[in-house]
Every structure is written in C-alpha cells, then in structure tokens.
Chains A and B, each alone.
Chain A
C-alpha cells in the first residue's frame, strides 16, 4: 500500500468519526450518558498519552500527572471567569485579584504553558532521581501543589478551597475530540521525530544513550515539560467538562486511574492508551454503574451489589491484568491503517514494524 493511500485512508477515517459524532449530536439528546462518556474519554485519552510519553517512551516513572492537571484546570478557570461573575465566585475574597477574562482557547494554551513552567521548576531537583524515587518525588510534589492551591492566603487568586465556577465552556463533543486529537497528534509527531528517537534511546539504556552524545538532563527535562504541558491542557479541558473545579478533586487516585489506563492500553503504545481510556471511562462511568446500586429482581435481592462494589470489581480486573496480561491491549504496537491492510491481505506479516499485523 502506498504512503499517500495510507494517509488518505487515515484522514478519511478521522473525518468519518467526526461526522458520526456530529450526526449523533443532532439525533441523540445532549444529556445522554454517551456524550458524557465520550467527552471524558477524550480528555483522559490526552492525559494518558501525555503520561505514556513520559513513562512509556522516555522511561521516566512519574506520578505527578494529577498535579499538573490541577495547575491547568485552575489556570483555565482563573483566567476565563467573566468579569461580572467574579464578585459572585470570589465572594470570600472581594472578587479576587484578576479582573479580566481571556478567550477560552487562549486560556487553554496558557494553562498548558503554566503547567509546563511548574514542571520545569519541579524537574530541576526531581529529574536527578531514578525509577521509584522519581515516582515518589513527583507524587509528593503533586500533593504539595494540591495543598498550596487550597491555601487560604492564595485565595484572591485560587479562591482557596472554594469552587471555581461560572467560566465559559464548550458543550459539543466535537470540541473535546478536536482539541484532544490535535494534542495527541502533536505528541505522535514528537515521538516520531529525532527527539522521540532520543527519548526511546534513554528508555532503553541511559548509559549507552549518554555515550551516543545525548544530553540526559536536557532530554529528560524536555520530556517532562512537554508531558506536563499536555497534562495541563487536559486539565483545562476537564475543568471545562465539569463546569466547576476544586483542588480536592485532583487526588493521587486520579493519577492512579491514568496510570491504570496507560498500563491497560500498553506502556509505549499511543493508540493503546486512547482505546483503553475510552474503555475505562465507559466501563467505570456507565456500564458498571449498576454494581453500585442495589438490585431487586422479583423479590430476590442480588447479593454483593451495593455502594462501593464497583471499586472491588475494578481492583480484581487490575490484578488480572497485572498478573496475566502485562503487555496490556496493544503492548508497544500501534494500531494503524497499514497494519489492518496487511492483516487483511496477509502481506508483510513480519516486515511492518509497529503495525497491528505483526504478532
């Protein structure tokens, strides 16, 4: 299959997806659970891919994602609340410090940049650490960020531990898909560039990578800042989706959810992260909801079903994955048009690296 054909088919598939979404929005009422799930899935796909860039492609085991999402979400909220609403939102802080509002798109980009700046500063001490120690330190910093944002003294800026609300948000699923899609495309382009090759070299063998003239500190910092930038963007999107935010939402449990998505999808697979984030959100928010509510069928009360049982089922699923399916859904492979084509025609069973066709 020619390269142009492949690109054309890929673009056509994406266009078809967007058209389907567009039509669905016209047909199904907008309050449907389907849209809630799709929006959240798109946001989680972006943050999972950004975590995969760090954990899967650069080999830096970081658990700070929720912290950077919080920074992004707050930046978005603080910068976009309309001026006439500020007195209402910042009621305990005399309307707050900032008395202007930016365009949402601009605010999303700034949210990413601020998260990136936080990452740069945190990275200075933290990126000297290796493996588990890095995970612990980043997790600690994420918790510190959360505590600082709830600090009363910063109230005029962050509204303390009170909700940020009344900021503008886009309602359409298409917006979330487009924003998240553009960001994921940028990450894929980065991974396929010469910098991406350097990241993978660092993941495979730090000592050898350094001997090949790759500046470890510089490249780790790039990966950390870029990953946090996109975590910040997804935080802004999450703020938009939830219409109100509070620092206490961004607990370490959120990071674990994202990590779980990355592991289920396959560490080192972008498409794996995307697929598993939708799968995860659909299951946890929608299909497995019934586990949390009591169910009575013809006078018979189904045992075990009660509030919190969903978490038990999820824990069991995680254990099964970790024990038996360590590769996740995709391993390190990518889902691609060429891979499918090769599988259908039975061609190039071995030749195409990274295609879905190789075993």
Chain B
C-alpha cells in the first residue's frame, strides 16, 4: 500500500449532466508501467486532466506519494446533478494549477503534440529549467545569474544527449519528423525531473517501426530515470508488451483491471474495446 506513487480515489468528473469519469479508483505503484485503455470518449484524457490539475474533479481525491494533491466535492448546482455515490466523503477543496502539480513531480505529454513551435529543440528542453530558478526578475534581467544560466544550459544539453536528440539541437522543434517530435515531447517532460510520467497516446499516428523504437525508448527511460509511468495508449502491441498492469475504461467507468493476460481475456473488455478475434 505504501508503495503506490499515484492513487486516484472515487474521482467523478461531470461536465454539466455528462459524466466523463465515473467513480474512478486506481493505483500506480513505484517503478511500474501502467496503461489506461478504452474506446474513444471513455474519459481517459479527462482522468489525466484531473490528475494534472487541469480540471478540479466534481468529487473525489488524488494522492501522489501518499500526499493528497487534489480534492473536491460537488456543491451548489453540481450537488443536484451529481450522479456518483461518494458525495459526503470529501469536504475540502484542493485545486492546484497544473504548474504546481508539475513542481510536485508529475510530468505529462499531450495527445496532440504541444511543442513550443517557434523555438528550437534545445530551447524547448531549456524551459523546464525555469521552474527551478533561484534568480528573481531583477537578477535575471540584469544577467547577474550567469552561473545558474550556465547550469541550466548544461542540464538541458545533458538530457538532450541521453535522449539522443543532440544532433538536432538547434533545429526548430516543428521541423523534426513526427517520431522525433514525440520523443522530444517526452524528453521535455523528463526535463522537469518527474517521478511520475503521464503519457497521453505517445504512439498515436506512428508507423510500426516508430512504435517499436518508442516501446524501447519508454522502457529505457523508465530504468534510466527511475520513473513510474502511467500511459494512455491505443496500440495494443505496445500496451501488452510493456505494461505491468492495465486499467480499462468504458463510458467513464472502470470495467476491468489487471495484468495484460487477465485483461486480454476478460469478456467485458473484448466486447467493449478489443473486439472478437475471428478466424478467417
């Protein structure tokens, strides 16, 4: 129990009367790679957005390394509309902004790549160093923080070397081929020095060869950076190969969970998402 890095507890997310995530409970343990799968519109990205502070949930709480980082309860108009069962369980409101969550050690990537378009690969990575600055507006403007600036640049270069992007260091981020843009986005998330990495469809739109490379990359990154990885993915080959455990969402509800073998043979998952394998 004490080993879990991320714990999502009774999280319900309603947009008006639409229940995007319904009473979600899940845990991610240290060092694991856990996948969240499900059909389109099942609420996977919404779950990520709740964890990273983009939306405060309608009800429920999120724990990170044993500490409660997000908590909310339905109130006012939402109380009448609230469709969950755990309403009275939470009474505080903890709603940090995404930057606070990042500072705690949760980094994420996005479903549609969100790189800083006008900037180079190096600058994209370098931005992550900003949150660890010790200089203030005046010392930074007058460039009195030379040592810190050098250290920031060294850190960024070191990371670029590890993720093998140093050959495109000074290229515009958007001029990279698709696979490398994905890799850069993961590298940029790593630059915030997270202990938990959330990947939102890292293999979306990739060809089989790029997907293989990505699979190897994610495994390597987990070991090198001592990370815990929680990801949303549609490529079943990738999911089944590297996941330690899998959660399956459908219409906002958790319908199955367990190791890849268990999930793959679960009839509910097959009917809702995987589809029946027919012999031709």
Q: Which of A168-223 contact B (CB under 8 A)?
A: 186, 189-190, 192-195, 197-198, 200-201, 203-205, 207-217, 222
The answer, yes or no, to whether B63 is at the interface (CB within 8 Å) is no
Cβ B116 vs Cβ A215 within 8 A:
no
- Name the contact of A211 in the complex, choosing from B52, B123, B143 (C-beta under 8 A): B52
Cβ B133 vs Cβ A194 within 8 A:
yes
Cβ A216 vs Cβ B99 within 8 A:
yes
Q: Which of B119-143 contact A (CB under 8 A)?
A: 119-120, 123, 126-131, 133, 135, 137, 140-143
The contact string, 1 if C-beta is below 8 Å from chain A, for chain B 131-165, is 10101010011110100010010000000000000
What CA separation (Å) do A203 and B102 show in the bound complex? 19
Q: Which of A229-248 contact B (CB under 8 A)?
A: none
Cβ B99 vs Cβ A213 within 8 A:
yes
Cβ A207 vs Cβ B110 within 8 A:
yes
What CA separation (Å) do A210 and B97 show in the bound complex? 8
In the complex, which range does the number of interface residues on chain A fall in?
20 to 34
The answer, yes or no, to whether A353 is at the interface (CB within 8 Å) is yes
Cβ B133 vs Cβ A212 within 8 A:
no
What CA separation (Å) do A186 and B110 show in the bound complex? 35
The secondary-structure label for the interface of chain A is helix
| Chain B residues within an 8 Å CB radius of A205 | 114-117
| Chain A residues within an 8 Å CB radius of B52 | 211
Chain B count of residues within 8 A CB distance of the other chain? 39
What CA separation (Å) do A193 and B145 show in the bound complex? 9
Cβ B131 vs Cβ A212 within 8 A:
yes
- Name the contact of A186 in the complex, choosing from B118, B141, B170, B192 (C-beta under 8 A): B141
The answer, yes or no, to whether B31 is at the interface (CB within 8 Å) is no
What CA separation (Å) do A204 and B191 show in the bound complex? 18
| Chain B residues within an 8 Å CB radius of A217 | 97
Q: How far is the CB of B25 from chain A (nearest CB, A)?
A: 25
Beyond A198-B130, A201-B127, A214-B130, is A207–B114 a contact (Cβ under 8 Å)? yes
Q: How far is the CB of B199 from chain A (nearest CB, A)?
A: 12
Q: How far is the CB of A107 from chain B (nearest CB, A)?
A: 22
Cβ B137 vs Cβ A211 within 8 A:
no
- Name the contact of B135 in the complex, choosing from A194, A198, A212 (C-beta under 8 A): A194
New A-B pairs, 7, CB < 8 Å, besides A200-B116, A200-B123:
A194-B135, A194-B140, A198-B130, A201-B116, A207-B114, A351-B170, A353-B170
| 23 cross-chain CB contacts under 8 A | A190-B140, A193-B140, A193-B141, A194-B130, A194-B145, A194-B152, A195-B137, A197-B123, A197-B130, A204-B119, A205-B115, A207-B114, A208-B110, A208-B114, A210-B102, A211-B99, A211-B107, A211-B110, A212-B191, A212-B192, A213-B192, A215-B97, A353-B120
